[in-house]
Copies of this chain bind each other. A is one copy, B any other.
């Protein structure tokens, strides 16, 4: 169960605003990013929030489940902000490079001007 968990908060996203508000396209992009990195999706669920007015699209929250763990994202179009998580366990091999590739691919969509990010090694100590 040891693995690598990457997480990031993206601020001042300057990419196409559709990435902050279109659950269908984000789902496709998330699935594409994990497959292109060589990871194995086993499910996905994305939810489209309503905006504060009918004309204003809301944010998106979604997850791609992986055989190797998960990709999660949450968008706040009113803030131009996104949070990303990519967690891979290394039970069947070291997937750290693939996790970094997925994180980079997703950030490339959103084009944040500023990013806070961290890496946590999980479960390294065994019983």
Residues of chain B within 8 A (CB-CB) of A83 are 1, 3, 69, 87, 89, 122-123
Number of identical protomers:
2
CB pair A47–B65 under 8 Å, yes or no, is yes
Q: How many residues belonging to A are interface residues under a CB distance threshold of 8 Å?
A: 44
CB pair A1–B127 under 8 Å, yes or no, is no
Q: How far is the CB of A121 from chain B (nearest CB, A)?
A: 10
The dominant DSSP class at the A interface is strand
Residues of chain B within 8 A (CB-CB) of A11 are 126-127
Given A1-B81, A61-B66, A83-B87, 16 more pairs with CB closer than 8 A: A1-B74, A5-B7, A7-B120, A7-B122, A9-B123, A12-B127, A44-B45, A61-B69, A61-B70, A62-B65, A63-B63, A63-B65, A79-B126, A80-B127, A85-B85, A85-B87
Residues of A bordering B, CB below 8 Å:
1, 3, 5, 7, 9, 11-12, 42-47, 49, 61-63, 65-67, 69-70, 72, 74, 76, 79-83, 85, 87, 89, 91, 113-114, 116, 118, 120, 122-123, 125-127
